[in-house]
Amino acid sequence: MVKEKTVKKEYRSFILVVFIIFIFAAVVVRFVQVQILDHSYYSRIAEKQYERREILPAERGAILDRNGNTLAINQFEYQFGIYKPEVRNKKALANVFAIATGKKSGIFLKRLGKKSTYVQFASHLPEKSAKKIIEGKYSGVRYSYDFARTYPLKNRASHILGFCGTEDIGLEGIEKHYDSVLSGVDGERFVFTDGLRRSFVRTDYPEIVPQRGKNITLTLDLNYQSVIEEELSKIMYAHNAKGAMGVLIDINNGDILAMSSLPDFDPNNLKKISLKSLRNRCITDIFDPGSIFKPITAAALLQEGKAYPGKKVYCNEGKLKIYKTVIHDHEAYGTLTFEEVLINSINIGIIKLSRELTADNFYRYIRAFGFGQRSGIDLPGEVKGMLKLPSEWSGLSQPSLAMGHEIGVSAIQMVLAYAALGNGGFLYKPHIVYKVEGESPRETELVRRIFDVSVTRILTPILQEVVLEGTGKKAFLESTSIAGKTGTAQKYDVNTGRYSHKAFVASFAGYFPADDPKYAMVILVDSPAKNGYYGGQVAAPAFKNIVQRIIGLPEHNSRMTIVESNSEEDPIIFVPDLTGTPIAYAKNILENYGLEYELQGDFPFVVEQYPVAGLAIRHSQLEKLIIICDNDYGKNFTMPNLKGKSLREAVYLLKLYDVQVSARGFGEIVDQWPKPGVALKQNQTVKIRGDRG
């Protein structure tokens, strides 16, 4: 019995020894497999855990205007993480990040309370805020950086510039069309991360240096762009319009000097961008041009020898029946000359003159002017417009086309056509990009010549007369000759399938100076709802104001202009001239640029301001702009000092004083009566004299 127990004990011991030997052998075998046989395999796994390929982002190229002003640029953007085992004072660290980000410290304390040893702490911090944290050398802080696209002038030229998405890929405008040029090529390097989440660059691997994107210089002139945007904003406000468009080009090469579509957007704040404001309506939307198309018809007639100065046409006393449709004019005219038809914008006259052209020939000229096809502008989203083939025309088509209906055109097409009217018949391909960094400037591209210079020589005096005596009187300038045409077109109602009797597009298209044309421009106002809707009432005054400011007679800077690098933290600005503008408009300008202001009084217009307009001053030094709109104005006025102001400015200011104005000459005011400071009475006559004429 004892022997049997001993045998069992020895057997158990033997089994245990064998089991231990087996386990040891298995460990040895596994050790050999891992350390010798599969060493390279497991080394690669370890490397993947501690090594990573780090992308070195390429800096996106800047976008500049033709004078070197920065419109789009990059800023460093930092991301921060925290390795919690190294943090000594959680509360102090949370306070540091709260100050840098403007958030509550409790948010960061909550993040530090998470179980993980490493937490993502803050992202998208600008360089100025991030530097304070980095320079503090707080224990446990890890960081990396990237580039963030920024637009220093906010809404300015937003439809042209477009914007980038979260991956720094261009999604609209120049950013999209030239994305491959601007984006550059990312670099890379290999980084080793230790157990404390510290990163070290692997020097035994080659580092690929990122290639910076190329800068792009636009044909755009920031000064002209600012003027057009400001004047369009004023006209929208004055007429409660749904939108407004304006395009200014160099008449002799097709360069886009300014292009604005309102409403616009701030590309720095993508979350607040509405889909309606995204479209660059100057190239994406079409409209019936109405009467601004009549000079196109006239040019075709002149080139074909079917019309000439002095040619007479009977205008049916303002009423013409074509099939079942009756065409009306705003006045009942009898016999008029070719010139009078254009000057007074007579529908029946241009319809009857156009009968001299065959349908095919008329269509050929319309196409030659660039309608019904894309202009080829280097921006995304351009439409070709609407133009039917002659085989699709009805009996009303040619009469309708002659006066600018049954055709859909874009603003860019129309301004190019007017450039051709003013430059002797040359149609140019438009460009918005002047030069790509490292490349030669873009060459002028002539598309075709439409007509002889003789056509321009006939049409220009007629279009000048439109401004002097015709429907475009409100575009008249004493200092600069303008050749142009007004237009008022009914909008097509997609719901009823008919033209609306309530919604219109008011327009003015022209070129200047008429005696030596350098610029062509078109102004369109969508659905003006008050204070008139005709092109001569709405668009012509805006055209005039823009021309006056562009030619520098004298400058009426209603917004500040950045005169130093936009990347500087404290740029110099010119104090805006808000005198005579509505209070709501003045507020909008000042708030848009982050300037503090103080209102004095409740008069609906700005009467005085301090500091004075045009003063060059650092942004940080302009603590507050005082806007005087005292309700005593209009009751107990004293004569203001008008010397040095333009005639237009002086008249505009005096209108606020409820007095009668007698003006002589033009240019800058050199004399006035009464003298400054003298009390004024209601309806008193005030005399002013300019330095010219």
Q: By the 8 A CB rule, do 505 and 486 touch?
A: no
Q: How confident is the model at residue 188 (pLDDT cuts 50, 70, 90)?
A: confident
C-alpha 401/C-alpha 289 separation (Å) is 10
What is the pLDDT at residue 635?
46
Q: By the 8 A CB rule, do 170 and 176 touch?
A: yes
User: pLDDT tens across 302-325, in order?
Assistant: 999 999 999 999 999 988 999 888
User: pLDDT tens across 111-153, in order?
Assistant: 888 878 888 888 778 878 888 888 888 888 888 777 889 998 9
C-alpha 173/C-alpha 153 separation (Å) is 16
Q: How confident is the model at residue 524 (pLDDT cuts 50, 70, 90)?
A: very high
User: pLDDT tens across 328-339, in order?
Assistant: 888 899 999 999
**pLDDT for 81 beyond 50:** yes
C-alpha 378/C-alpha 177 separation (Å) is 7
54-217 CATH: 3.90.1310.10
DSSP assignments along 550-591, one per residue: HTTSS----S----S-TTSSS-EEEPP--TTSBHHHHHHHHH
Q: What percent of the chain has pLDDT above 70?
A: 78
Cis? peptide before 399, omega within 30° of 0: no
pLDDT, mean of residues 384-401: 95
216: β partners = 63, 436
Q: How confident is the model at residue 458 (pLDDT cuts 50, 70, 90)?
A: very high
Q: How confident is the model at residue 554 (pLDDT cuts 50, 70, 90)?
A: very low
Q: Pick the more confident residue, 295 or 661.
A: 295
572-692 CATH: 3.30.10.20
What is the pLDDT at residue 556?
35
Using DSSP, state whether 465 is helix, strand or coil. Answer: helix
C-alpha 158/C-alpha 220 separation (Å) is 12
User: pLDDT tens across 11-64, in order?
Assistant: 677 677 777 777 777 677 666 665 665 556 555 554 555 566 677 778 899 999
DSSP assignments along 385-440, one per residue: -B---GGG--TTHHHHHHTT-S-BB-HHHHHHHHHHHHHTSEEE--BSEEEETTSP
The topology under which CATH files domain 222-265+280-550 is Beta-lactamase (3.40.710)
Cβ burial of 476 (10 Å; 0-12, 13-18, 19+) is middle
Q: By the 8 A CB rule, do 584 and 629 touch?
A: no
Highest mean pLDDT among 69-83, 135-149, 342-356, 624-638: 342-356
Q: Is the pTM of this model over 0.75?
A: no
